[in-house]
Structure 1
Amino acid sequence: MAEIYRVDASFDHSFFKDSSCAFGVFDGVHLGHRFLLGCAQKTARESGGKSIALTFDIDPDETFHPERLKKLMGNDERLAMLATTGVDAVVILPFTREFAASSPEEFLLQTFDGTPPAFLHVGFDFKFGARAAGTVRDLDAWASNMGTQVCAHGLKSEDGAPITATRIRLLLAEGDIEEANRLLGRLYFMTGTVSPGRGEGADFGFRTANLTVPDQLRPLSDGVYAAWADVDGARFKAAVNVGVAATFADRATATCEVHLIDFDGDLYGKRVKVEFAHWLRPMRKFDDLDELIATVKDNITWVKENL
């Protein structure tokens, strides 16, 4: 597990000396990100320096486009996952409007404060500084004067298309959970706190945990999914309803309702991590409750037998 460092007044920038840094936001820590981080580890091994995942404390779009942002994971989850990727350290830059407004030159000066890394790994479309004016070409020009080798990479999957967080978000918005999981290199997950729901589930014979998940952390399309739910370190098969329950639309809100199979206990107030494995069906309005109950029970049976 890598050490996590936050850049503040006490941070010693000489930490970057002779290091290999992979620089990015890393939302989702997907396969493209892991390739970039692996490249930093490789040059670190070859040069004898340490490998560093260099990132921000928040996604920059949280500052500039919060109304349209759909993140693949929370910031704490992102930083914790980066620490498990095999790098020696995770270094976190505070992202502020003042920092974002700096010129590309000022951006690099503030980031490294005169002690640049030996290797800097970025995506080929890496942008930095005010209005994203800095490009890889600008990075190369700076690096040539600082003794840094810039390594710009194309992060592509087997089909030749780039692996990006935006591409994965679009797949999730379409309900294509299997392809999104392939590009993530893991199961996509959401984490939320269980709160009281509408209460119909218990009456129908299948209790559900109603998760409170911020809209910004719900890029997944409405629908019913087969998933795994983690509660206090224990893993359960689960049938999950994401979005507004159409049959109860007059009193429902967009949510994430989880039926944990073979679970018996009180979940209120607990944090539950839900890992989505398969899309089962779209949301629909049922003509009567008997049809609804039969369909949900069929979904639960499928999860039991196939997950």
Structure 2
Amino acid sequence: MAKVYRVNEAFDHGLLSGASCAFGVFDGVHRGHRFLIDEAKKTAAECGGPSAVLTFDIDPDERFHADRLKKLMTNERRIEALAQTGVDFVAVLPFTPAFAAQAPLDFLATTFGESFPAALHVGCDFHFGAKAAGQVDDLRAWADERGVRIFAHDLKSAFDKPITATRIRLLLAEGRCEDAVELLGHPYAFEGVVAQGRGEGSDMGFCTANIELAPMMRALGEGVYAAWATVSGVRYKAAMSMGTAPTFAEATATSEVHILDFEGSIYGETIAVEPVHYLRPMVEFDSVESLIAEVQANIAWVRENL
């Protein structure tokens, strides 16, 4: 795994000198992102410098549009995934209000100081600086004066459309897990801390791990899914719901996960859940008996098909 550096007062900007860098947010670290990062690794090999990813400690939209943002990864998981792409290091810029308010040229001066990379790889829609005023042409003008090569890549496509984090979020919102995974190039998963639930599941014969997700981490559409759940490093089949259960008026958990063939208390533990197939919408049942029958059918599907 690559070394991760926080770009603070102690950061040695000299690390960036002569490096070949991929620069972006990279939410989801999807196939398009990996193409851009692989291109940075290629030019690093050609010029003999290190390969690097430049990113931010938070998604900039968390600062400006947190009320409508749906993220594919937590910031911690995103940075960890970037460190696993085979680059030499990851440099993480703090996206503070002061940093975000800088004019484009000041933004670049703060980012690089007097240590200029050999190459910068960005998407063709790359913007930077206050109000995203800086564009690729501005970046090229800055780079030409400093001997930096700029590679502005067209977005990679799949099924005749560009691969973007927004497109993947829309697929997940529709419950289309398989299509989202095709664009991601890796499983989609979310993590959460197991909280004390209402207890109805236990009374009905199927215990659930109850997770309350922050609104911005709810990219997956409401419904019931076949899934995998990872507990303490062990992967189990699971049937899970996303969204509050309409049958129970006091429901609060964002996601309820029934883990097949698992016993034990995991309250307070963090588990990872990987939804892989949409089973049905969330519906309000006329009776507890009909709910139990449907949940048992969902569990049976998971057991037989995963």
TM-score band, normalised by shorter chain: over 0.9
Aligned to 1:257: 256
Deviation at 1:169, TM superposition (A): 1.1
Are 1:25 and 2:36 counterparts? no
Does the 8 Å contact 1:194/1:268 carry over to 2? yes
Aligned to 2:245: 245
SS in structure 2 opposite 1:146? Answer: coil
TM-score by length of 1: 0.98
Aligned to 1:293: 292
Distance 1:253 1:229 in 2: 20
Deviation at 1:253, TM superposition (A): 2.3
Aligned to 2:164: 164
What stretches of structure 2 of length at least 5 have no aligned partner? none
**Deviations along 1:46-76, whole A, 9 cap, x unmatched?**
2111110100011111111111111111111
Distance 1:30 1:158 in 2: 12
Does the 8 Å contact 2:197/2:210 carry over to 1? yes
Aligned to 2:228: 228
Moved over 3 A (4+): none
SS in structure 2 opposite 1:22? Answer: strand
Distance 1:267 1:9 in 2: 40
Q: How does 1:83-232 map to 2 (within 5 A)?
A: 83-232=83-232
Distance 2:154 2:246 in 1: 42
Return the letter of the residue paired with 1:104.
P
Does the 8 Å contact 1:35/1:155 carry over to 2? no
Q: How many residues align?
A: 306
What stretches of structure 1 of length at least 5 have no aligned partner? none
Deviation at 1:276, TM superposition (A): 1.2
Deviation at 1:160, TM superposition (A): 2.7
Between the two proteins, what is the percent identity of the paired residues? 59
Distance 2:105 2:40 in 1: 23
Does the 8 Å contact 2:212/2:252 carry over to 1? no
Deviation at 1:254, TM superposition (A): 5.0
**Deviations along 1:193-239, whole A, 9 cap, x unmatched?**
00011111111111100012211111110000111111111110100
Return the letter of the residue paired with 1:240.
M
Distance 1:19 1:78 in 2: 21
Distance 1:30 1:111 in 2: 24
Are 1:275 and 2:274 counterparts? yes
Deviation at 1:288, TM superposition (A): 1.3
SS in structure 2 opposite 1:194? Answer: strand
Deviation at 1:290, TM superposition (A): 1.4
Deviation at 1:158, TM superposition (A): 2.7
Distance 2:160 2:109 in 1: 35
Does the 8 Å contact 1:21/1:40 carry over to 2? yes
Aligned to 1:305: 304
Distance 2:256 2:187 in 1: 18
The Cα RMSD (Å) is: 1.0
Return the letter of the residue paired with 1:287.
D
Distance 2:267 2:295 in 1: 22
Are 1:68 and 2:39 counterparts? no
Distance 1:106 1:35 in 2: 29
Deviation at 1:157, TM superposition (A): 2.3
Does the 8 Å contact 2:210/2:253 carry over to 1? no
Return the letter of the residue paired with 1:255.
T
SS in structure 1 opposite 2:156? Answer: coil
Deviation at 1:167, TM superposition (A): 1.1
Distance 2:232 2:24 in 1: 31
TM-score by length of 2: 0.98
Return the letter of the residue paired with 1:39.
E
Return the letter of the residue paired with 2:262.
F
SS in structure 1 opposite 2:27? Answer: coil
Aligned to 2:58: 58
SS in structure 2 opposite 1:275? Answer: strand
